[in-house]
A = this chain, B = another copy of it.
Amino acid sequence: MRMETRRDVFQAIADPTRRAIIMLLAAGSMTPNALAEHFNSSRQAVSKHLQVLTECEVLTQEQKGREIHYHLNSTKMKEIEHWLEQFKQLLSKRFDQLDDVLTKLKTNKK
């Protein structure tokens, strides 16, 4: 029973196709059709992923006539970076504590 649809960067990068789309858009903005050509999946399938990515605010749309150009909002990706940073800090803290324990054992042995 999920309360609400979770739409965050972490969900954005959960799907391999979406990760590929992000990578392609990191190289430059593209239209759905141009993107779809890079995949086996249909235009609609890619379009759905683009929708998800837009909801996650990883992408922004720019209408140009009948074409829509999708741009990457690279700042959103920093959330992942930030989370990883916190994770690494927790890890290093743990190893610091382990160091403490080892140091104490040493001094006790003296």
Contacts and interface: CB of A to CB of B under 8 A. Distances in A.
Interface of A: 6, 10-11, 13-16, 19, 22-23, 26-28, 72, 74, 77, 80-81, 83-84, 86-87, 90-91, 93-94
Copies held by the complex: 2
19 contacts: A6-B15, A10-B13, A10-B14, A10-B19, A13-B14, A22-B87, A23-B86, A23-B90, A26-B87, A26-B90, A27-B94, A28-B94, A72-B91, A77-B84, A77-B87, A80-B80, A80-B84, A81-B84, A84-B84
B11 A14 contact: yes
B93 A27 contact: yes
A90 B90 CA distance: 29
A52 to B, nearest CB: 12
Given A14-B10, A14-B11, A74 B86 contact: no
Nearest to A86: B23
Q: Which of A6, A26, A72, A77 is the most central at the interface, judged by chain B CB atoms within 10 Å of its CB? A: A26
Which 7 A-B pairs give the minimum distances between C-beta atoms?
Answer: A14-B14, A26-B90, A26-B91, A10-B14, A11-B14, A10-B13, A27-B90
